[in-house]
Structure 1
């Protein structure tokens, strides 16, 4: 599949998110946050021993995880968020309510101003939320095309012997059966372990 065709497919998924409307996106987002909060709180102590989670700050029509971030912080969990760079690498900084923010150099998104760290700071997290525009029942995901998280997932085994749980939050219509082949899966793609939607809850795919 050509790069142009993949870009067209990404635009299709972006458009579908817009068509959901703000009220429905928020309704599903609130359910996603509740499901993830209950799931994390129910893990065995050994599975959440780091008390650290990597999440993304909501942008545009993405699922709104702000309520989840606030609830986890109130429970004593460290929240780390990614900072994207022009060379398509990511660094990480800590988020907390009312953290000082500044406009990203790459786009119209607000980012925390705190100290940046390399991927090793999240390699021992309990959970990393891996964003996507769509995912399937084999755990493969269609990202936005920058490859930021592909590189992170590839690096994790070298950074930690106890890899974080990888979970992708999506709107209901963005989760597909793998045999439908709703988007291309390439040799370098690495799967997540779970997908969560408001309709299906947390689905373990590996």
Structure 2
């Protein structure tokens, strides 16, 4: 129900709203120490009315950061490819799911994410504990499990609109909290391991 409510609000946003929020999000995210010192950042390309990421991806690349983007696999796991600019993205339709923008670069394998200093996670909401509500496909649950299994500890950051920071989201035993949420109006940090 919470997913439907958030998606309904997002669907009311205009292209100008999304663009404005993307610029503000990029500015806030670029101030994060975790991103300032990162050499590799795993991120994603926003689609539709998701909080925009291209401005941030381009700014990270301009800083010399290696940006990894996901490629959705048939089993909902994620492979990764390097972001080399908006012109090197392809719109890929995955069955009945939404079309995603994915890198056309060489595939680096599912474990490439373990080299990231920071992982920018998509989501629909985050709560006061730092628990993230995703779209329900499980792709990023697999990424977070892979990070934990390999002993990788990148900063986990979710990018959202201000109204999507809520009191509580449903969570399960396998869910992991994020370190921070970035919204157009600011940054909120969480202690992990709760």
Q: TM-score, normalised by structure 1?
A: 0.84
Moved over 4 A (4+): 40-43
Aligned twin of 2:25: 32
**Aligned residue for 2:111?**
120
- Partners in 1 of 2:176 and 2:102 — Cα distance? 27
* Distance (whole Å) between structure 2 residues aligned to residue 11 and residue 42 of structure 1: 31
Partner of 1:204: 189
Distance between the aligned counterparts of 2:40 and 2:120, measured in 1? 12
Specify whether residues 103 and 28 from structure 1 end up closer, same or farther in structure 2 by C-alpha distance, changes over 3 A only. Answer: closer
Deviations 1:49-102 (A, max 9, x none): xx1111111101111111111111111111110111221111000111254333
Higher gyration radius (CA)? 1
- Indicate which of 166, 173, 178 corresponds to 2:163: 173
Secondary structure at the counterpart of residue 157 of structure 2:
strand
How many pairs does the alignment contain?
188
Structure 2: distance between partners of 1:81 and 1:150: 16
Distance 2:24 2:53 in 1: 10
Aligned partner of residue 141 in structure 2, secondary structure: helix
Name the CA shift for 1:146/1:58 in 2 (closer, same or farther; >3 Å).
Answer: same
1:63 matched residue in structure 2: 51
Structure 2: 5+ residue runs without aligned partners?
none
1:25/1:171 contact within 8 Å kept: no
Task: State the alpha-carbon separation in 1 of the partners of residues 99 and 149 from structure 2.
Answer: 33
Q: Where does the alignment leave 5 or more consecutive residues of structure 1 unmatched? A: 1-7
1:155 equivalent among 141, 146, 149: 146
Counterparts of 1:82 and 1:110 in 2: how far apart (Å)? 9
Change (3 A) 1:42 1:120: closer
**RMSD, aligned CA:** 1.9
Q: Shift in Å at residue 122 of structure 1?
A: 1.7
